[in-house]
Chains A and B, each alone.
Chain A
């Protein structure tokens, strides 16, 4: 157990922010830390808390120091506070302060704009751990279990990163916000997490893979935009978080890919060529491709909603103020202030989808969402290559962005995944073929049986091509505590 009373913060919390010399933050953190440990201990089943998990820990931000692999009990994980190295003479990259030196302290006039951005980012981190809390029980292998816990501890570290910013730069308000991050809880009636998608439980492993692929990718895009912030400590925090976020993308992309691969393999072994021969395919104990497509439709569209309203004055203000940039801001070829630029977006005119030009400044969210869609499409292409290689005829597709939307211009309209506007009856009739049904969920749930022999995998998923940290196939990624 972590010895909270005799904690040497400089040795037990890897940090590059001079923690031990910063008495004020240290005091705030010392008060906050026990609550965090309680949160973690209440959340993760005890059996796993006592197990030795082969995890990666960041102990410094240089390439040699940030990925130390070793067995660790999760409550003893060394959650650190690490900021990417500062860029000398960094300038604010966008908005009306473009070209001025980046802020090292919170600019007073933007305090109220900046704090919610950090709080929302911070709120999603523990939320996803809460959503995934029961998955350890049904892990299809020790390898996957280890990946789940790696994602979890890193979300925990990302929470630390945001808490540090709140406590260091936002005084008493910030400390209260930091405490509230531990009070809210995913799916709670009285104190839910701030964003809708983070209050849904992650019921099974395919959902987890889809979540890490699609929803964590929204996180990645948000971090990319915050990494462009003129508020330098936020920029540096997010830049370092992005290196870890890449692991989450990896878990999602390969998880879905391995599920598809196993299905194709089982179909070929059984001589089934028709991907829609659902009953027979499910009898093989694998998830049929159309159901995987339905899960994709669901998670992709839920994640699109996370980008908020297409037209957003908040986003415009944040960009203008220079506290949040765009994806790969320095590589965009414009004035980085968007004084006269326009951006092409979808709208609905007389019940028809129409693309039209609008001022780019109010369409910051939209642009990020488009960047997101392009980024998400890459992995879908690689999944299709697996199907193609297996010689089967089926293509995974991202649905049209108007399908199944609850936020933005498409909300309240019934579109099919191709983008055709439908009547209510047509939509209801098509729904079971586009989105997962209860029966689909039950079927997937029936496959979720834990496998805990090293090197063994549940029948619905293929082993990975490469082990974590180059470990061999039968490496024991988790030494389970047997009570």
Chain B
């Protein structure tokens, strides 16, 4: 079987033939005849420069095809052909989280805790997917690597900033990227990319500098995490992605976000919060964060987080290993704050996000079930509704 490839197409029923895309494309990949404006699959490198300049949205069409459609074929179209069925999962192109099969499997696994097929928030921006793969990775330069955990802590938590210079690498909050560790594994094969959630907002760690940040914890014997944590400023990294088309934040400023995380699971929520802050946080719907870690010095971004004003983000920081203090987990705090949580789950404007270690799922589920019951709501039914409406999102590992 030939590996399916991604093809960029223009919807001839919607295109108004203004040729703005053609004038924008630096690669000469867009051309037209008297009938249609079309993209040459052999020349398009998915740089996405043509996407924002299109007034109609007709250019944002992506298909996974066994064989790319030729120019001649596209010139003859009055409408787009029906999407081909994709081998993995049988989903159509609109909901694909990754075109790399291995990455798609990883994400499917991570999203399992949602209890069904994940759906993106209705007002989420459209993500770019899989612009780079292991065969054609993007190269980023390490702009900085900073230790987040306290000096005495035995946890090595790092904030790593990657710069893509002139290379387009558009990400949305909640998306992940793949990091390729150089060298080969024990079987002599190149390492598969490992997924890391981006912890900066869409306009970059620093606005418009085309960079992004990751939140990485050094795992004993972890090949990729050790590689990342050892990186020095100026080192180069091979990156794939971006991946993920459902664990995204709503663009609707009135949406309320309830976010629950442990450890480095906070990465996407740092991105969400920064996005809201940069796009006028005070005017948007409230966000609440339940954040669990062992101790304050192993809670990523403990300092900066506390400076975020409460009217933007309400914070419940929960610690399980502080000497002389009883252990507390996120689910315990959720139960303690049941009135607030109940207010969230009974509001159709609420989006719930859970991110962190797989182990947290059970406790959080229990807390939701109990709190929902208290206000006469059947949690599983509500969860299904919320998921189907793109308002319930789980990413655990």
Question: Which A residues lie at the B interface, using CB under 8 A?
Answer: 52, 60, 63-67, 69-71, 242-243, 246-247, 249-250, 253-254, 378-379, 382, 385, 465-472, 474-476, 479
Contact = CB atoms under 8 A, between A and B. Distances in A.
Contact of A470 (B24, B78, B125): B125
Nearest to A72: B280
B20 A243 contact: yes
Interface in B16-32: 16-18, 20, 24
A344 B126 CA distance: 49
A385 B58 contact: no
B20 A242 contact: yes
Contacts of B332: none
A400 B52 CA distance: 37
Nearest to A245: B18
B57 interface: yes
Given A471-B123, A476-B252, 4 more contacts: A67-B53, A243-B20, A469-B126, A470-B125
B253 interface: yes
Contacts of B60: 470
Nearest to B49: A63
A466 B49 contact: no
Chain A CB within 10 A, most for which of B11, B16, B51, B252 = B16
Nearest to A67: B52
10 contacts: A60-B208, A70-B251, A249-B55, A253-B16, A254-B14, A378-B17, A466-B14, A467-B57, A469-B125, A472-B122
Contact of B122 (A64, A466, A475): A475
Contact of B52 (A63, A382, A465): A63
Contacts of B24: 63, 243
Contacts of A465: 13-14
Contact of B53 (A70, A71, A243, A254): A243
Contacts of B48: 63
Given A250-B18, A465-B13, A63 B53 contact: yes
A70 B252 contact: no
A71 to B, nearest CB: 6
Contacts of A466: 11, 14, 56-58
B14 A379 contact: no
Contacts of A472: 122-123
B16 A250 contact: yes
A63 B50 CA distance: 7
A150 to B, nearest CB: 10
Contacts of A243: 20, 24, 53
A60 B122 CA distance: 28
B65 to A, nearest CB: 21
B301 to A, nearest CB: 25
Given A470-B125, A471-B123, A385 B52 contact: no
Contacts of A468: 57
A64 B253 contact: no
B55 A64 contact: no
B253 to A, nearest CB: 6
A475 B58 CA distance: 18
A385 B56 contact: no
Interface of B: 11, 13-14, 16-18, 20, 24, 48-53, 55-58, 60, 78, 122-123, 125-126, 168, 170, 208, 251-254, 279
A385 B53 contact: no
A279 to B, nearest CB: 32
B12 to A, nearest CB: 9
Contacts of B14: 254, 465-466
Contacts of A64: 49, 52, 168, 170
A421 B264 CA distance: 79
B41 to A, nearest CB: 20
Contacts of B253: 52, 71
Contacts of B17: 378
A326 B154 CA distance: 71
Contacts of B50: 63
Nearest to B203: A68
Contacts of A69: 125, 251
B57 A66 contact: no
A44 B253 CA distance: 24
A82 to B, nearest CB: 13
Contacts of B18: 246, 249-250
Nearest to B57: A466
B256 to A, nearest CB: 15
A205 B11 CA distance: 26
Contacts of A246: 16, 18, 20, 53, 55
Contacts of A378: 17
A60 B207 CA distance: 13
Nearest to B54: A246
Contacts of A385: 78
A242 B116 CA distance: 45
Chain A CB within 10 A, most for which of B24, B55, B78, B253 = B55
Contacts of B52: 63-64, 66-67
A311 B20 CA distance: 31
A262 B251 CA distance: 31
Contacts of A66: 52-53
Contacts of A379: 16
A120 B170 CA distance: 40
Of all A-B residue pairs in the complex, the 9 with the closest CB atoms, nearest first, are A67-B52, A63-B49, A250-B55, A466-B57, A247-B55, A246-B18, A470-B126, A246-B55, A246-B20
Contact of A70 (B13, B58, B208, B279): B279
Contacts of B168: 64
Contacts of B57: 466-470
A467 B125 CA distance: 12
Contacts of A247: 55
B373 to A, nearest CB: 31
A398 to B, nearest CB: 16
A379 B14 CA distance: 11
A243 B54 CA distance: 8
Nearest to A253: B16
Contacts of B78: 385
B208 A65 contact: yes
Nearest to A465: B14
B123 A475 contact: yes
A395 B60 CA distance: 31
A250 B57 CA distance: 10
B390 to A, nearest CB: 9
A173 B13 CA distance: 48
A80 to B, nearest CB: 14
B207 to A, nearest CB: 10
